[in-house]
Structure 1
């Protein structure tokens, strides 16, 4: 059962706030503690085995059992020494790989987390433009940073967490994702004050909301017209959606700056800020925008990220995992058509999620492998367009009833309605069938 996990959680409550080191892990009534990974599965402290669709919240594109060449690269780097406080060849090679494949990235600065990447990108945008206001999407998430932890609409925003001065929120404007006219109105009123628009290409922390046709092109046009920067947060989508060109390549829109994390570090702590040379060179020491970090460009992380991406490129991993993602979303479409026709299947490539939409249309679905915001689809008006739409879904039912039902069948999902689910190269056709059977039973 789960006696060991319960005992570990009891101990953790005495030494960690809420018994966890990331609030999203605070599963009710308590989380299971993982002992080890095995391919597409995790085994907890009580020996229970779960099909893993969390994959570390996205970084584990290859699954838990890394290919021998990736393991060897990591072990060689770790054996040579933990870290040096000096540059290594691996960080140069990884930066060269990224700049070679991501269309908008000419230069890169590595940091240690997605949060650190977005913090640094916002600082750089403000310095490069001489402006202070940042536009973000309502319901979007860009890490635990003061400039984007806001609530409210438009320029009427307040901090969404205690401990953040009101003055931070005063410089942050929120707009609904996929509402081009709202964005135009914000720029008409505040364009000369806006340093940057910061958005995920798809809302990956809010149920996977796909952009409507032309939305990012509108943001690109507005930024060009008003002299603002367009920042794509590809911490989640980077090297998972759109292959080696990332989501921006798939969408055909080039941002000025891009933030990375997760996969680019091969499962180790990482972040990065990429973009045009004239922008990235404004970071110290070549410029005056301060940015530094003891563990930035950590050699083990760089080796893991580099060899992971090389392996992915050599072995056609995207073809494999994206095909599995297609199968999952098509299968889920069939399941909900029978069991819960008002629900919405979302996702792209190796990402997927089922949104418990309350008022979705119940007729036949035009998008059979995840909502694409297709205006010709009969469900178009009912599919979530922004974070608020996802927030109005039956989130309590998802968390309190559905998640435990899936866990009881041996399937590990992200523990709320908002976070994406992920597949990896370790998942198999049999795993897809197991997953879909569990959905049928739970729904």
Structure 2
């Protein structure tokens, strides 16, 4: 496969862009291939190589690279009438009304420009609304490039996870293990009167896709209610992808106080949003006193794309299609792993999927489970992605926290598996942690081609 043009472009980029990329996750080894254009479920690089795409822009592209005609028409119409105005437009009201009709937690929405901006604003809102400063986050969770959540450590001592962040920010952030209700209970017992909010993804989406164990989010809801704190769901990834138009909170049956959105809600254009109960969201200026503003917030092209994106999903079988294909893909990978890599774990739900290169599998009777190759494949296991079922034979060994995914064979994914899949013209996310996505443009034939590639590589 020829990559001469991508290599030349990367050489140029290194001179004018730090690391040659504008988002660090794009820095694949030995160099990234540069995309020329998208085509349905495919991308074509600068050298003319064509790849079946499961990155889908890291989540926003529910329809692949050719959005439905109403979306394209709306984008072209609004772009031709003027790029932006510095004043409200009707379409941002229409999109806010759509979100409020469908998402359980949302009565009002403030639109911003990115998922990071949404979570930054949500943290500020929680602190302003409650008059408290501490935020509880999940170890291994990701809430954008913001100072309050780029932390590492444990409840006894958090520290910034990146240079450039003053340690004083981490003093107000309490990281706890995802799926460990006892750890959250201890934190509330020690700091309950100072906690403004618990901020979590309903399903960890930047650490290999980790589902909540039964009752975990319900316990978070009970604890925040009891202590007067807010429960914030970061649905930047899961929003309008997991659980359809009701998002992951609708599927899980737990309603947060505030929800952050990004990706799909903007129809493939830069976007973020903070939604929730009216009495909370109205604390934003100018209705309240918590400052929030932005030149490009509610950009008419983005709002039009998002509205038509979601409206098309409401009127067609979009979620049935993408969820069926992803279910078939996860089941197929699970079958392949049973024969070729039984220690690995298939994760995901709805149109999300990933294979986590976990290091051990479920034990059989009389075995400690340390030898993954001896695993009994007739045992009851999740067939289409880990669901944290206690009856599953892999329950004691499947990833339940960000640390569990971090302990997987990340180097094997990046240095061998990703490279081999690329050679077979399958475009996956470049590291072990980022989610992958099936789109409305994918077909059954695409799934079969992908499974054949998995068989060859694994």
Q: TM-score, normalised by structure 1?
A: 0.99
Q: Is the 8 A contact 2:210 2:401 kept in 1?
A: yes
Q: Residues 327-346 of structure 1: matches in 2 within 5 Å?
A: 327-346=328-347
Match in the other structure for 1:72: 73
How far is the alpha carbon of 1:366 from its aligned partner?
A: 2.1
Tell me the alpha carbon deviations over residues 304-339 of structure 1, each in whole angstroms, 9 at most, x when there is no partner. 000010111111100000000100000011010011
Q: Residues 339-358 of structure 1: matches in 2 within 5 Å?
A: 339-358=340-359
Match in the other structure for 1:117: 118
Q: Which structure 1 segments of 5+ residues have no match?
A: none
Match in the other structure for 2:424: 409
Q: Which structure 2 segments of 5+ residues have no match?
A: 363-374
Cα distance in 2 for partners of 1:148, 1:438 equals: 37
Match in the other structure for 1:200: 201
Match in the other structure for 2:265: 264
1:434 and 2:434 equivalent? Answer: no
1:134 and 2:135 equivalent? Answer: yes
Q: Residues 144-183 of structure 1: matches in 2 within 5 Å?
A: 144-183=145-184
Q: Find 2:386's aligned residue among 362, 371, 392.
A: 371
How many residues end up aligned between the 2 structures?
443
Q: Is the 8 A contact 2:380 2:391 kept in 1?
A: no
Tell me the alpha carbon deviations over residues 188-234 of structure 1, each in whole angstroms, 9 at most, x when there is no partner. 11111100000000000000000000000000000000110000000
Cα distance in 2 for partners of 1:8, 1:360 equals: 42
Match in the other structure for 1:54: 55
How far is the alpha carbon of 1:365 from its aligned partner?
A: 4.4
Tell me the alpha carbon deviations over residues 379-438 of structure 1, each in whole angstroms, 9 at most, x when there is no partner. 100100000000000111111110000000000000000000101000000000011111
1:423 and 2:438 equivalent? Answer: yes
Tell me the alpha carbon deviations over residues 106-141 of structure 1, each in whole angstroms, 9 at most, x when there is no partner. 000000000000000000000111110000000100
Stretches (4+) displaced over 3 A: none
1:381 and 2:396 equivalent? Answer: yes
3-state SS of paired residue (2:137): strand
3-state SS of paired residue (1:13): helix
Greater shift, 1-10 or 353-362, is seen at 353-362
RMSD over aligned CA atoms reads 0.6
1:219 and 2:235 equivalent? Answer: no
Cα distance in 2 for partners of 1:67, 1:162 equals: 43
Q: Is the 8 A contact 1:155 1:170 kept in 2?
A: no
How far is the alpha carbon of 1:44 from its aligned partner?
A: 0.1
3-state SS of paired residue (2:415): helix
Cα distance in 2 for partners of 1:155, 1:115 equals: 26
Match in the other structure for 2:369: none
1:240 and 2:206 equivalent? Answer: no
Tell me the alpha carbon deviations over residues 246-294 of structure 1, each in whole angstroms, 9 at most, x when there is no partner. 0000000000000000000000000000000000000000100000000
How far is the alpha carbon of 1:155 from its aligned partner?
A: 3.6
